[in-house]
Amino acid sequence: MVSTKIVIAGGFGAGKTTLVGSVSEIPPVTTEAVMTEASREHDDTSATPDKVTTTVAMDFGRLTLEQELVMYMFGTPGQARFWFMWDDIVRGAVGAVIVVDSRRLADCFDAIDYFEKNQTIPYIVALNRFDGELGYTVEEIREALEIAPDIPIVDFDARDRRSSGQVLRRLLEYTLSRPKTPQLV
């Protein structure tokens, strides 16, 4: 059996915890904490008014594919005040999914910048369909986010197991299709 680590990243309230929870075959481990009045000064909940918790460390889930591959999913926190953890969470990952809420594109810029700078980890962009809508075409979003044409962009519903599973499958396909870079000794 082979195991692999992937990262689920993105902005605040984009659907990272929901994605991990929808596909994990084990009860997901989450570090959700109730948002306080003090955090509301920093976290814009106008697009997600029902959001009352936030990830303060990471999410963790597991998914077995075809009995031979176990995928361990690590979800990052979305707020800037928790980004100091990202390097540790990302270490050893074979790929990443950046979850995007198309209603708040600016919230994912930092996650995209992180993986653009860390070019050893391939990533794809997953557009979470809130209320069943995207609001923009995939190409409009690609242009707004300045995503290179070779980076896959997929749309999905983080609440749906099958839809979230397709995102992870697409990440693995993309990761395996990339040329191998020689390891530095």
Q: Rounded CA gap, 125 and 146, in Å?
A: 12
Amino acid sitting at position 45: T
Query: What is the number of residues in the chain?
Result: 185
Q: Which is nearest to 154 in space by CA: 167, 141, 173?
A: 167
* pLDDT confidence bin for 18, thresholds 50/70/90: very high
Residues facing 70 on adjacent strands: 3, 64
Q: What percent of the chain has pLDDT over 90?
A: 50
pLDDT reported for residue 45: 56
The predicted model scores a pTM of: 0.83
Q: Rounded CA gap, 15 and 12, in Å?
A: 8
Look-up: residue for tokens 């909940």? 45
Over 70: is that where the pLDDT of 80 sits?
A: no
Q: Which is nearest to 72 in space by CA: 53, 57, 58?
A: 58
The arithmetic mean of pLDDT across residues 65-69, rounded, is 82
Please work out, in degrees rounded to the nearest 5, the angle formed at the alpha carbon of residue 72 by the alpha carbons of 89 and 111: 40
178 CB-side CA count, 13 A = 19
Considering only 48-57, 76-85, 96-105, 114-123, which range has the smallest mean pLDDT? 48-57
Q: Contact at 8 Å (CB) between 84 and 73? A: no
pLDDT reported for residue 74: 94
pLDDT digits (tens, 9 = 90+) for 97-150: 999 998 888 889 999 999 999 878 999 999 998 777 777 889 999 999 999 999
Over 50: is that where the pLDDT of 53 sits?
A: yes
Over 70: is that where the pLDDT of 46 sits?
A: no
Over 80: is that where the pLDDT of 78 sits?
A: no
Residues facing 100 on adjacent strands: 127
Q: Contact at 8 Å (CB) between 108 and 102? A: no
* pLDDT confidence bin for 185, thresholds 50/70/90: very low
Task: Assign 101 to helix, strand or coil.
Answer: strand
24 CB-side CA count, 13 A = 21
